[in-house]
Amino acid sequence: MVGPYRGLFSAPGVKGFVIAGFVGRMPMSMLGLGIILLIEALTDSFAMAGAVAATVNVSYAVAAPLTGRLVDRFGQARVIVPLTMAHGTALTGLMLCAQFGAPAWSLFAAGVVAGASVVSLGSLVRARWSHLLAGSARLHAAFSFESVADEVVFVAGPALVTALATMINPYAGLIVALTCTIAGTLAFAMQRGTEPPVNRGERHSGSPITIPGVALLSCVFLAMGAVFGSVDLITVAFAEEHGAKAAAGLLLASFAGGSLVSGLWYGARQWKLSLRGRFVRALGVFAVGLTPIALIGDVRVMAPALFLAGLAISPTIITGYTLIERLVPARLLTEGMSWVSTSVGFGVALGAWAGGRLTDAFGASDAYGFSFACAILAVIIGIGGSAWLRTPVPQQQS
């Protein structure tokens, strides 16, 4: 599986933006869970914790396309540096409000700003790969590598933030997440040699969301995001119900671990099946893989079940980003990829909110049924609108 990834990092500057992008992305698996752990520890309510985390995700989801459009218009560095400073200030404010027992509305207000100023580094990194490898067969491997990097983040992040929050201090996880955000994003912004150029002479009219295929993918990823958000929160509650709260991070790492393994395998293969066919099949496997988790009542059995459930995540996301790259004009690519982040963000917010409510009302095991229902919805949408995902096969360069 290593062969296709060789040579990706030989170009000048590639290693720099890849490493910085990885560090800066660590908080994407830590921020929501860190907020849930902090607020639940203070309020003893998963519903409240889920609501604050959902606020952050909704704000991020609303702002991400605008951030992408600004990046396409002004360049990556000019946009992400001030956003990162605003995010750091808002997240610090949220933790201080929690520390000093400020009114509940202050947590939501700080969450709005913290979420709106999150930088979608995954989209920016992929935009750099698209710029460097446009028309090359290696772009498939590059997108696969980035999906694997995302899953490494989702394997390590939940375990790290859970250990920090439960064994050291409820605030420790968010502090480490904030440190990674600032260090990684600023280092990424400094890598100017690989930054996609800005075409200042061309008007950035229209929006990628008006493209039917992009709209369809956004709906699919909205449903998938609801799976991710609900599984995150419900799994924390599941572990706590079974007297093993500290194991929540490891359970979520198993979910991401399945995606990591499949991402390596998927990126190493040369596919003859169309992107559309791969996307629909991956969605079907995703829904089937989630079926067992609603039937399990043992933490030890849940870990391998979540691993199997995660196997279809990377292939679905890799194919989705590749479809976006084919469907969206180059001048709007960052914004187009941001719609994936936006859709997942809205879905995560919905999933966290619904997961918290259902967990408080019916218990964690029954609440997993919501996650499965969202996966089925993603399959229905993807199959129903798959005709919009037909793309021409580009002439590939070596």
Averaged pLDDT of the chain: 83
pLDDT category, 127, cuts 50, 70, 90?
confident
Please give the pLDDT value at position 140.
75
| pLDDT, tens digit (0-9, with 9 covering 90-100), for 246-266 | 787 788 878 888 888 887 788
Q: Quick one: what percent of the chain has pLDDT higher than 90? A: 17
Please give the pLDDT value at position 205.
61
Please give the pLDDT value at position 122.
84
Mean pLDDT of 195-206: 66
What distance in Å separates the CA atoms of residue 53 and residue 162, rounded to the nearest whole number?
15
Taking 50 as the threshold, does the pLDDT of residue 397 lie above it?
no
What distance in Å separates the CA atoms of residue 102 and residue 324, rounded to the nearest whole number?
43
What distance in Å separates the CA atoms of residue 86 and residue 239, rounded to the nearest whole number?
34
Please give the pLDDT value at position 43.
75
| pLDDT, tens digit (0-9, with 9 covering 90-100), for 148-172 | 788 788 777 877 888 888 888 888 8
Question: Considering the entire predicted model, what is its pTM?
Answer: 0.77
| pLDDT, tens digit (0-9, with 9 covering 90-100), for 353-380 | 888 889 888 888 888 999 999 999 999 9
Q: Are 359 and 237 in contact (CB under 8 A)?
A: yes
What distance in Å separates the CA atoms of residue 193 and residue 187, rounded to the nearest whole number?
13
What distance in Å separates the CA atoms of residue 14 and residue 6, rounded to the nearest whole number?
13
Lowest mean pLDDT among 56-65, 125-134, 203-212, 234-243: 203-212
Please give the pLDDT value at position 395.
47
Place of tokens 């990885």: 22
Please give the pLDDT value at position 204.
54
Say how many C-beta atoms besides its own lie within 10 A of residue 7's C-beta: 10
**Between 179 and 262, the higher pLDDT residue:** 179
Every domain of the chain and the residues it spans: 14-198, 208-390
Task: Indicate the CATH number of 14-198 among 1.10.1200.10, 1.10.510.10, 1.20.1250.20, 3.40.50.720.
Answer: 1.20.1250.20
Q: Are 289 and 309 in contact (CB under 8 A)?
A: yes
Please give the pLDDT value at position 391.
67
Q: Quick one: what percent of the chain has pLDDT higher than 70? A: 94
**Between 3 and 13, the higher pLDDT residue:** 13
Taking 60 as the threshold, does the pLDDT of residue 381 lie above it?
yes
What distance in Å separates the CA atoms of residue 224 and residue 219, rounded to the nearest whole number?
9
pLDDT category, 203, cuts 50, 70, 90?
low
How is domain 208-390 classified at the CATH fold level? Answer: Growth Hormone; Chain: A; (1.20.1250)
Taking 90 as the threshold, does the pLDDT of residue 176 lie above it?
yes
